[in-house]
Structure 1
Amino acid sequence: MTGISLDDANLIVHGDNRDVLPRLPAGRFSMIYVDPPFNTGRAQVRRNQRNRRVEPEEADRRGFKGRTYASVLETLSRYDDSFEDYWGFLLPRLEAARELLADHGTLYLHLDYREVHYAKVMCDMVFGRDCFLNEIIWAYDYGARAKKRWPAKHDNILVYVKDRSRYLFDATEVDREPYMAPGLVTAEKAARGKLPTDVWWHTIVSPTGKEKTGYPTQKPLGLLRRMVAASSRPGDWCLDFFAGSGTLGAAARELDRRFVCIDANDQAIDVMRTRLPEARFLGPEND
């Protein structure tokens, strides 16, 4: 399997990300956004184990690039979905993401309440707890209204950096928000707005708006624009390997960054090729 070189052309890749990621050059991406399937099933499963890195002779499982792990007992209970399968699905992709990040790079992992706590354990293991930067809450107000619990109206975005002493965060490039109580600050501050916190109030993509592509899990451009602006510079490479509708690519293009978008879904590829027509395309026939 040949490697994928990065030139000045943006890239859309049609393929399984687990096969594609090892073909990308290590250390080239300033910002990686990962929006994996949220694993929303309901099989009742309980596991009391986690993984830790060990020497090959002690291992009972392998991860990305042959890294070896052992299962160790820990109080880690599951109540919704097959966690062990999800762990096996997500872990090697997070390991690959870390390899692909530049030393100043940042990972944004977008999940919901069902998996975020377990994904945090994974990321702590892969990146190190000291490289955890933020948990962003994306709050919105749309969809069904639960009557027997508090309605779930937010997603979680875990933010990890590759090197705590070298990561990029450019607050001057981030869009600013209006003050909730502008009368309590100076007129100058009110006009300028404030830097967003770790709670982002942003509407979903309107079902009838111009931004809508028809892809079912499309994320708002405003969310990705903010991440790209904060964690990369013009000309830097950004990566999304569950690219879906290609919103990361659209945000990167708007901000003069370069991008690689990967997806195995035929509908996603069709949407991205329409939305990002300038990007070079790499499909199975090009391998």
Structure 2
Amino acid sequence: MTARSVIQLHHSDNLPVLRALADESAMLVYLDPPFNTGRVQGRAIESATAPGEVRRPGAYTRRGFHGRDYERLRGDLRTYDDRFDDYWGFLEPRLAEAWRVLRPEGTLYLHLDYREAHYAKVMLDALFGRECFLNEIIWAYDYGAKSKRRWPTKHDTILVYVKDPARYWFDSAEVDREPYMAPGLVTPEKAERGKLPTDVWWHTIVPTAGREKTGYPTQKPEGILRRIVQASTRVGDLVVDPFAGSGTTGAVAAALGRDAILIDASAEAVAVMRARLPEADVVDSVS
């Protein structure tokens, strides 16, 4: 019999909570940060190479990109988009801490939209190492208004990095299958089982009248998180979500027998999660 999952809910800025977690304690970290809208985030910019920040030799300082080092690359990106440095200054120390708490077999998923995905991919390659990049997942959906002046933007990007390319956990056998688009071209047995998803995921948003709907504006569907948790964790593993929002990660983790630490600074988000996850242990804010 599977033991009850332990779900912790922190009403707090996520950086101090991440810093309080033990090294190599989480199998999966899923980050769904606010998308960069041009607003300056309130934060102190911290260098990933500052004293005390490097937990693994070479983890955050590496050369590449035709001889340009990490700091030069960061500076170059600031000249391309003057908003990006503010956003990255907010996100970078949280990514560094997320990387620290990952187990050697662990995986980090960063969920972004089209405005930042291309910047983030280059920066994550520099921060973690290109050899740790595993996938770029495209979550495609079809809802809402469609522009007639350009191709309508109807997808999110999820960048996937593994802590150790030689040891990471990935279990495709546990992942929910999809129906074949042309079932007549495969055997009846294969058609009944369905196919393994590729790196393009066609999945609806949370239906307005569906059982999942919480009313939280940026709620992600359980099907997306279930696929991530199934592939990259095992029963009993710890999942961390620093931008937990509506609590979808926690709901999926609990249903699949995983433990979870959910963090969000928004009182609205915490209220939604407490109603959705009444079994969660609520932890006081960390300052």
Counterpart AA for 1:11: Q
Match of 1:120 in 2: 121
What TM-score does the superposition give when structure 2 sets the normalisation length?
0.86
Distance 1:88 1:77 in 2: 11
Say if 2:46 and 2:93, in contact at 8 Å, map to a contact too: no
Q: Do structure 1's residue 15 and structure 2's residue 28 form an aligned pair?
A: no
Which amino acid in 1 is paired with 2:246? S
Deviations 1:180-230 (A, max 9, x none): 111111111111110000000000011222211111100000000000000
Matches within 5 A, 1:241-256: 241-256=242-257
Maintained 8 Å contact 1:218/1:245: yes
Q: Distance in 2 between matches of 1:27 and 1:278?
A: 26
1:189 alignment partner in structure 2: 190
Which fold has the larger relative contact order, with Cα–Cα distance below 8 Å and residues 6 or more apart in sequence?
2
Superposed, which structure 2 residues align to 1:194-209 within 5 Å? 194-209=195-210
Is residue 26 of structure 2 the alignment partner of residue 29 of structure 1?
yes
Q: What does residue range 31-50 of structure 1 map to in structure 2 within 5 Å?
A: 31-41=28-38
2:72 is paired with a residue whose SS is: strand
TM-score by length of 1: 0.86
User: For 2:47, which of 62, 74, 81 is the aligned residue?
Assistant: 62
1:281 corresponds to: 282
Opposite residue 18 of structure 1, the aligned amino acid is L
- The runs of at least 4 consecutive aligned structure 1 residues that moved more than 2 Å come to 40-43, 60-71, 73-81
Cα distance in structure 1, aligned partners of 2:252 and 2:46: 38
User: Could you say which residue in structure 2 is the equivalent of 1:231?
Assistant: 232
Determine if contact 1:38/1:112 at 8 Å carries over to the other structure: yes
Partner of 1:56: none
User: Per-residue deviation at 1:61?
Assistant: 6.1
Q: How far does the alpha carbon of each residue in 1:137-189 deviate from its partner, in whole angstroms, 9 at most, with x for none?
A: 00000112101000000000000000000000001100001111111111111
Alpha-carbon offset, residue 126 of structure 1: 2.2
In 2, are the aligned partners of 1:80 and 1:114 still within 8 Å (CA)? no
Q: Give the AA of the match of 1:140.
A: Y
Q: Alignment RMSD, CA only?
A: 2.3
More strand by share: 1
Question: Are 2:10 and 2:284, in contact at CA under 8 Å, matched by a contact in 1?
Answer: yes
Counterpart in the other structure of 1:177: 178
CA contact (8 A) 1:42 1:80 kept: no
Any idea what the Cα deviations from partners look like across 1:31-56, whole Å, max 9, x if unmatched?
1110001112399xxxxxxxxxxxxx
What stretches of structure 2 of length at least 5 have no aligned partner?
A: 55-59, 62-69
Separation of aligned partners in 1, 2:76 and 2:240: 34
Aligned length: 264
1:134 aligns with 2:135: yes
Shift in Å at residue 80 of structure 1? 6.1
CA distance in 1, matches of 2:224, 2:234: 17
Fraction of identical pairs, as percent: 61
The whole-number CA distance in structure 2 between the counterparts of 1:81 and 1:176 is 42
Report how far residue 71 of structure 1 moved: 3.1
- Residue of structure 2 in register with 1:164 after alignment: 165
Q: Is the 8 A contact 1:250 1:276 kept in 2?
A: yes
* Equivalent-residue separation in structure 2 for 1:35 and 1:232 (angstroms): 18
What residue number does 1:82 align with?
A: 83
User: Is contact 1:13-1:281 (8 Å) kept?
Assistant: yes
| 8 Å contact from structure 1 (residues 127, 161) kept in 2 | no
Secondary structure in structure 2 of the residue aligned to 1:103: strand
Q: Could you tell me which residue of structure 2 aligns to residue 72 of structure 1?
A: 72
Inter-CA distance 246–42: structure 2 relative to 1 (3 Å threshold): closer
Deviation track 1:253-281 (CA, whole Å, cap 9, x = no partner) reads 11010100000000000011111111111
Tell me by how many angstroms 1:123 deviates: 1.3
CA contact (8 A) 1:91 1:122 kept: no
Q: How many Å separate the matches in 2 of 1:77 and 1:151?
A: 27
